[in-house]
Structure formats: C-alpha cells, structure tokens
Amino acid sequence: DVQMTQSPSSLSASVGDRVTITCRTSQTVSSNLNWYQQKPGKAPKLLIYTASNLQTGVPSRFSGSGSATHFTLTISSLQPEDFATYYCQQSYSTPGSTFGPGTKVEIK
C-alpha cells in the first residue's frame, strides 16, 4: 500500500500569508495526487486534481505542483475562508486510494 505523509500537521498563519503544504508518498504515484479542503462538519472539497489542475470554481490562489513522490499545495494569499484542514490523496492505485493525515490551517 502507498503510505502518505503531510507536513506540517498544523500551521498558524495570517490573512494574506503565502502557505505551502507538502505531501510525500512512499512510492511514486506519477501525477496521480489530489488535494482537498475540509471544513468542520462538511464533506471534503476537491481543490486540485492530478497534481496541478485547478478544479472548476476553485480560486486561482490555490495551486499544486510536484510529481513522483513529492507534492505541494500552495495558497498564494491566505483568505479568511481558507482556514480548514487540507488532505492529499493518491489515486495511482485507483480504485484503491489513500489519503494523507491532513494539515490543519489555523488563524494566527
């Protein structure tokens, strides 16, 4: 099974900050890495698919990059509505998939 790690596990940031979250996989997943945002009590929301493609309707301040085993999600200018938990997901082994443990973005 593909193991996932995310760093940091949590971070505190201010509105307007640039935020970067890292996801690493235990083996290559090519570009089959996706990012989700989850707010309390809500289902996850797809932000980025296949490493760098912005899902329709997602603000352009979100971007993704990486390949193989190392991926990043960047929020270029953090907005109040971006405080949430972010998960990466590998879909290289589709239909099986694995999610990262999550990164909680909190207000400084």
Partner 1 sequence: QLQLQESGPGLVKPSETLSLTCTVSGDSINGSPYYWGWIRQPPGKGLEWIGSLYYSGNTYYNSSLESRVSISVDTSKNQFSLKLTSVTAADTAVYYCAPAPVTGYYPVWGQGILVTVSS
Interaction site with partner 1 (CB under 8 A) = 1, 32, 34, 36, 43-46, 49-50, 55, 87, 89, 91-92, 94-102
Q: Which CB, 20 or 92, lies closer to partner 1?
A: 92
Distance, CA of 101 to CA of 84 (rounded, Å): 14
Contact indicator for 74, 91 with CB cutoff of 8 Å:
no
Please state, as a whole number, how many other Cβ atoms lie within 10 Å of the Cβ of residue 78: 19
What is the smallest separation between the CB atom of 93 and partner 1, expressed in angstroms? 8
The 8-class DSSP code of residue 82 comes to G
Q: What type of residue is 94?
A: T
Question: Helix, strand or coil for residue 81?
Answer: helix
Q: Which CB, 80 or 95, lies closer to partner 1?
A: 95
Q: Which CB, 49 or 71, lies closer to partner 1?
A: 49
Q: Which CB, 24 or 45, lies closer to partner 1?
A: 45
What is the smallest separation between the CB atom of 97 and partner 1, expressed in angstroms? 5
What is the smallest separation between the CB atom of 53 and partner 1, expressed in angstroms? 9
Contact indicator for 47, 35 with CB cutoff of 8 Å:
yes
